[in-house]
Every structure is written in C-alpha cells, then in structure tokens.
Amino acid sequence: MARGEIIINDNNCRGCGYCQGFCKRGCIVMSEDKFTPLGYILPILADSDRCNACGVCGQMCPHFAIEVYKFIES
C-alpha cells in the first residue's frame, strides 16, 4: 500500500532520468512514448504502490519537477 505519491510537472521536467536512477524502490521509469510539451522523455510511475514518500526523487531533480506527498492517517 503506497505511503505517498509524487506529482511530476511536465512543464519543468527535462527527461534527465535522475529520478529513475535514484528511486530505491523502482517506482519511476522513463516512459517509451510519453513526452513533455518541449519533447523531453517523460518519466512515469511504474509501481506507485511501493512509494514510501522518501522524497529523494524530488530532492535530486535538477528541474524542480517532482512534488512528493506523504499520506497521513486523518
């Protein structure tokens, strides 16, 4: 069960692939067929259930394209 989620802002993303590289749980992979408005390859969520909201992908993203949220039991 996912403990968090990420939102990728495709206006900022430049398809550099760091998020895929840094996600320890393989939640993010570079897509084959999805592009940003500027034509960069867009990363997609391969396995959002494994996301534990560690925030590394957002922290290491050079283009400030990823927001990370942690789910909190209300």
What residue ranges bind other proteins (CB under 8 A)? 4-5, 9, 11-12, 14-18, 21-22, 40, 53, 55-74
CB of 43 to other proteins, least distance (A): 12
Q: Identify whether the C-beta of residue 28 lies closer than 8 Å to the C-beta of residue 19.
A: yes
Nearer to other proteins, 16 or 44 (CB): 16
The total of other beta-carbon atoms located within 10 Å of residue 10's CB is 15
CA atoms within 13 A on the CB side of 40: 16
Nearer to other proteins, 15 or 27 (CB): 15
